[in-house]
Amino acid sequence: MHLRINVSLCIGVSLDIALLHFCSFCFQLDGGGPAKAVLQKGDILLEIGGKRIASDGTVAFRNGERILFTWILSQMFVGDRCSVKLLRQNRERRESFSVGKLNLLVPANSDLRRPQYLIVGGLVFVPLSEPFLKSEYGEDFESRAPVRLLDKWQHGFQSFPGEQFVLLSHVLAHDVTVGYEHLHNVQVQQFNGTSVKTLKHLAELVENSTEEYWR
């Protein structure tokens, strides 16, 4: 049995809390978060902030109550030091890291004044963001958008700073796009065999391509 806990709000880390013997299993790290310099995938968290983490992912609270260990992180501010005790390769270690800003793969807002987009040969590309989801599916996009996009919106974290989830948003009607009009809001993973990192990266790949066909 596994209980998935999202603690990225405070430290930029996504953890899978395995119900084992008084431990928490580090399942995934936000590649752009400060905890990555300290924690590794496969680490077993034993304590956080001086409090032991129980098998259900809780720590001692007030009057004998217990609360999820994420509560400790929620009380911290960016720049605070978070201390942890962990088990790595059968050895106990004590580490600490600076609490940092969350690096979401799908940002809740954009720092840019205008939305980003790229149009190439009748194909419209955009980075996935919460404002885009709202414009496409309405304010209640959580119940209307495709699950594959909602999963990235809710659980996606950058594997490196600045990473974007690039979509082929629309296919404009034209003789050269006949037969592809059904493609709508699908992820662009590669361009001619090269992994697409950001919308800007895709634009550079297109501009520098010397191949006759684009794949």
Over residues 35-87, the pLDDT tens digits come to 777 888 888 889 999 999 988 888 999 888 999 887 888 888 888 898 999 88
Q: 14: which strand partners?
A: 6, 28
Which pair of structure tokens corresponds to residue 87? Answer: 């088990």
In a domain, 213, yes or no: no
Which pair of structure tokens corresponds to residue 73? Answer: 């992180």
Q: Which residue has the tokens 């996504």?
A: 14
Q: Which of 30-39, 51-60, 164-173 has the lowest mean pLDDT?
A: 30-39
What value, to the nearest 5°, has the Cα angle with vertex 185 and ends 181 and 4?
Answer: 150
Can you give the pLDDT at residue 5? 40
Report the distance separating Cα 40 and Cα 51, nearest Å: 20
pLDDT at 31 over 90: no
pLDDT at 151 over 80: yes
Say if residue 88 is in the same domain as residue 144. no
**Domains in the chain, number:** 2
Residue 48 belongs to domain spanning? 25-99
pLDDT at 174 over 80: yes
Say if residue 30 is in the same domain as residue 93. yes
Can you give the pLDDT at residue 111? 63
In a domain, 215, yes or no: no
pLDDT at 170 over 90: yes
Three-state secondary structure call for residue 105: coil
Can you give the pLDDT at residue 209? 92
Say if residue 35 is in the same domain as residue 85. yes
pLDDT tens digits for 129-150?
999 999 999 999 999 999 999 9
Phi, psi of 108 (to 5 degrees): -75, -25
- Choose among 53, 81, 78: nearest CA to 67: 53
Report the distance separating Cα 48 and Cα 70, nearest Å: 9
pLDDT at 7 over 50: no
Say if residue 122 is in the same domain as residue 201. yes
Residue 109's H or E segment, with its range, is none
pTM above 0.95, yes or no: no
Give me the chain's average pLDDT, please.
Answer: 82
Can you give the pLDDT at residue 110? 65
Say if residue 89 is in the same domain as residue 39. yes
pLDDT tens digits for 101-126?
778 899 887 666 678 999 998 999 99
